[in-house]
Structure 1
């Protein structure tokens, strides 16, 4: 495995000063992606662990994440005419906040976005635990996304009913090609699935040692015994997550450092394998966005400058 560091500072570059004065907003947000971040290209036994970007600050991470999402949106709209993105809860939406500001709020083609959730708590949409409410308050209400393009769960149903209904909705949108279909798995192929990760290594609502990790037939499933409240949730299954064109896992804080280590490093077959390690896109690209505390237990002997 080889870790590559790009020692470039946007803020201190003379060329960057020129860009800030004369470049278009789109060129600026692309250029800002080349900042002081550490990138790791994994190969060999960990070839599916993807690219890892370790950021000096949360502000830097947020900017890089906004650039990443904006560029994928632009590419998808150019290729397919739409951008199908699935969100998660937790701190993720807060780290997407820069999409609400210039240049992204003007350059992103928001009318082509279709919003889904990789997991959701089975609570009212107005409840503080709702991932929909979190995204609406932090992002969706601040950008011109078409309301009918926002696909949240039916909060009047039981967990099982909501999972079945959400899968039905996605199947209809696969038929109309709003969501692509994987030629390998016959699962929906979202343009981007954004995931957070818990200290136990869970992603979406796929928790360690839970039977849903073995689900291979359903696109959307449910649990009623989440180890983290609230107990009732729906979630994309691993085949759906691993069928996406792009998957990003966004993790911050030292409380998650051990889980990051177990998910990314080549720790051997006898070590615990958290659900996050099972995120291995079949043909898509996986990118980890980390701050330094979250990355603090990665095997730094593999870094080279």
Structure 2
């Protein structure tokens, strides 16, 4: 029987530079665990302010870039060199400065773009082209899902892709990826990747991970900084019953969700904080290992009980 998801782990830091350094060490730790178990590290990135918070990765030793498989938790339907492209933001922030091969970075397939998308990707869809634009977006989302299947099928026979780490941001309305409050995609239970043509935040046309992917990851980690995040962070962590998109990211056990925030963003949060220790050392007592050991102990006890009957 599947176990319920664990509550979030909240890490807070006095300054942004401490947050960034700790986040980089957290990623290195997740990478090391993944490579030790499966020989590969699967990670999904987001846009917004997240890319600039990943620059510390370029300064760390022990990053095995040749073992990385990089995806994007959501992406705008724009050319890869467009200012709105999440890939472009991550490339400029750190990917272009590290020894990772382009084929390890999974982007949307721009060969599927209509001519209009190539010319002016953020323009309003012209009257009479609605069906064509929708078909284009569906094809792009389906192609990205096939990229997920191709990457995870050999190493993972499960029904869902299981990312080692998904890095996420928090929008001012509580959205994450391109999953917005009140939108029908919050209830998507079949597809791994979905298209969205009516994003409340421009550009309107995007593809996004659904909760079918987010909630089967080993680790999801949100990053938020600044006083402007206070009210929304309070709502997400202290009022999960409101069902904001960020609050719905709760990976099934043994997966965990983490929050990396600065003290300014955490100013109104009542949710209990956890001391961050991995910056000094890596050990077997991190939350993922503890959860896995707990599961194994419970399973061993259940087997022993069954054998005794």
Give TM class, smaller chain.
0.7 to 0.9
Q: What residue in structure 2 maps to residue 10 of structure 1?
A: none
Equivalent residue pairs, number: 248
Alignment-derived partner of residue 126 in structure 1: 81
What is the CA-CA distance between 1:54 and the residue it aligns to? 0.7
CA gap of 1:277–1:133, structure 2 versus 1, over 3 A, is: same
TM-score between the two structures when normalised by the length of structure 1: 0.77
Aligned to 1:293: 264
1:79 to 37, 49, 54: 37
CA gap 1:181/1:257 in 2 versus in 1, 3 angstroms: farther
Structure 1 residues 171 and 90: alpha-carbon distance in aligned structure 2, compared to 1, 3 A threshold: same
Alpha-carbon distance, 1:126 to partner: 0.8
**Aligned mates of 2:139, 2:206 — CA distance in 1:** 11
C-alpha change, 1:277 and 1:129, in structure 2 (3 Å) is same
> Could you tell me whether the CA contact under 8 Å between 2:78 and 2:85 is conserved in 1?
yes
Q: Distance in 2 between matches of 1:122 and 1:294?
A: 31
Please report how far the alpha carbon of residue 181 of structure 1 lies from its aligned counterpart in structure 2 after TM superposition.
5.2
Question: Aligned residue for 2:146?
Answer: 168
C-alpha separation in 2, matches of 1:48 and 1:123 = 36
CA deviation profile, 1:220-247 (whole Å, cap 9, x unmatched): 0010111111000100001210000111
Q: 133, 147, 163: which one pairs with 2:102?
A: 147
TM-score scaled by length of structure 2: 0.77
The structure having more radius of gyration, on CA atoms, is 2
Compare the two structures and name the one with the higher strand fraction: 1
List runs of 5+ in structure 1 lacking aligned partners. 1-45
Aligned twin of 2:23: 65
Between the two structures, name the one with larger relative contact order (CA 8 Å, sep ≥ 6): 2
- The residue number in structure 2 matching 1:40 is none
Q: How does 1:248-287 map to 2 (within 5 A)?
A: 248-265=221-238, 267=239, 269=241, 272-283=242-253, 284-287=255-258
